[in-house]
Structure 1
């Protein structure tokens, strides 16, 4: 078997957000959050704000095909969902948006999108949380304000480790609570959500998978965006499905990728994916049967490639198979030079095109 850890490390380095991208995201969300906190009217109804999404779960990858990196900003308000319509909640932010992001924002079904030069921001307005969640919201707010240096080091920061462990060790009674509600202006309802549970679950899963889970997620998200751009499932639904199919106790990224694809391939019919924090919600709810059928067909083929790459006893053959799966960001075969260092033995990585 050929797990090729050094190759996968180089591959992951090439698909993980760069320090400049992290800095741009940090500048974008910190500026937005500072403006929200200092807005004369909105500051009176905002109690907390923090980040959610792949950026703060440490599963984000570099965007492909000219797309921008993105981050979600949860804005916790004191609004009473029983006395405020979803449309009214979003409309409260329009004067602020007109002042700071004129012609750069779009009010969507359940969020407010802001498109900047280098990043996309999503404001997710939420109704007041339960009092029992106030401490955890403070911790999330603290994590969300960490410098880009901490975030690029993922969980190497003791500050992040302490806060994440405290989140993960909440007792079960608190864990079952759903503290936040988001407005769906199209359905005209407030929907339950629990972004904190997604973060806790990801942290626990990464520990259970010997630290490889987040890397498996990044690798498979890259595969999906590269080989099947724009096709569903994508974004968080894809990550959630990866989480359900990735085994614990894996010993390499290569093993995790292979077993995850094989487990997906074994699920022929579209499953009901229980939301981590709101189990009655189906994360695949908006995925059609036809979309899943097409996705499943693709996974079946790709799982064969991954298995051949993992089982090969010939490193050269294994590397070519992984490159077939992941494209040119996966390193070409390397040979030891006389000095003991490594050098490429093939053509330069193609900077553009399908496998950019």
Structure 2
């Protein structure tokens, strides 16, 4: 007897970013985009901007709580510019940094990353990524090797929406469950983010409507697909939906991948036991090992009858909306990393 679907939809509602978090994300990215669009030294560089990453694809989960007790969303902002790929990435990112810091409404730059400029405000932590548009996508600067690389975030966003249709609306919830499982049972920094989405697309059952059964099968299928290769110290090539020549595991080290597959194997067994047992208390205990103590308990039917059955499911939160609001920038730069 599987744990009721209600327990999984309740967990999904619980790990959804709160309305306050979404509002802060909206205010943060709107302020950054307006600042760069109007900044005196940068406005001639600015062409357009759009959101990227999990917030754009509606696959984010609630942020971790920071040291000050806040849940700040992590937002990726793409700034389409008229830079040229002959411009050195260091020069491009430094110019974006100066534009962000400039003026009375300037922002505090936390650091310059490999391909972006990081700004952290009370509302949101944001990575600002300058790009140059091409005929079939965008080129992104890479400080590490001084070159520009192809990317196409809008394709990732449309691809994710297509997968959600293919799964009957269950793709994005499964991605969120997968991300939450990774947070509760970490095995290192990578794989993360979009890689997890692609793995769900490749290995989750599209027709299974029960989230517990679908998640257990997802882990089992990933182990079957890559476990033997990992035992041979090999990592697969998994194509980027936006560029079939690009391996989305390119940033994942072999040791990280092996640790991830080992973790998948362990929890695939736990999830199978949770699905196969006839003891509701035991099933709940196993699922709480998978998803942590935010996964609510369900009593055995005999116990549940004494108080009128199982608890009703909480409706799954709706998708993101971004009201117009301005970010509150910080006062002075702390330097680069």
| TM-score, structure 2 as length reference | 0.81
Q: Give the CA deviation at 1:337.
A: 5.9
**Which protein is richer in helix relative to its size?**
1
Question: 1:336 and 1:54 mapped to 2: Cα distance?
Answer: 41
Instruction: Name the counterpart of 2:330.
Output: none
| Paired position in structure 1 for 2:285 | 320
Question: 1:319 deviation in Å?
Answer: 1.8
1:142-221 → structure 2 map (5 Å cutoff):
178-221=136-179
* 8 A contact 2:2–2:278 mirrored in 1: yes
The yes-or-no answer on 1:76 pairing with 2:80 is: yes
Contact 1:16–1:61 (8 Å) recurs in 2: yes
Instruction: State whether structure 2 residue 75 is matched by structure 1 residue 110.
Output: no
Counterpart residue number, 1:227: 185
Q: Indicate the residue corresponding to 2:241 in structure 1.
A: 276
What secondary structure is seen at the aligned counterpart in 2 of 1:117?
coil
Instruction: Tell me whether 1:294 sits opposite 2:252 in the alignment.
Output: no
Please, which of 214, 224, 238 is the counterpart of residue 196 of structure 2?
A: 238
Q: Deviations over 1:86-120 (max 9, x none)?
A: 22221221322222555433111111111222421
Question: What secondary structure sits across from 2:238 in the alignment?
Answer: coil
Q: Which residue of 1 aligns with 2:16?
A: 16
Residues in 2 aligned to 1:274 and 1:37: alpha-carbon distance in whole angstroms: 34
Q: Distance in 2 between matches of 1:264 and 1:219?
A: 15
Change (3 A) 1:43 1:271: same
Deviation string, structure 1 residues 20-48 (Cα, Å, up to 9, x no partner)? 11111111011111111111232212211
Alignment partner, residue 137 of structure 1: none
Contact 2:12 2:177 in 1 (8 A): yes
Q: How many residues align?
A: 295
Mapped to 2, the partners of 1:291 and 1:339 lie a distance apart of: 47
Moved over 6 A (4+): none
Q: So what's the TM-score if we normalise by structure 1?
A: 0.77
Per the alignment, do residues 90 and 111 of structure 1 end up closer, same or farther by CA in structure 2, a change over 3 Å counting? same
User: 1:256 offset after TM fit, Å?
Assistant: 2.1
RMSD of aligned residue pairs (Cα, Å): 2.1
Query: Is 1:2–1:311's contact at 8 Å kept on the other side of the alignment?
Result: yes
Q: Which residue of 2 aligns with 1:254?
A: 212
Partner Cα separation in structure 1 for residue 32 and residue 263 of structure 2? 39
Q: Structure 1's 294 and 230: CA in aligned 2 closer, same or farther, altered over 3 A?
A: closer
Consecutive unaligned residues in structure 2, runs of 5 or more? 230-234, 313-337
> Structure 1: how far apart are the matches of 2:139 and 2:38?
23
5+ residue gaps, structure 1, are 131-177, 344-356
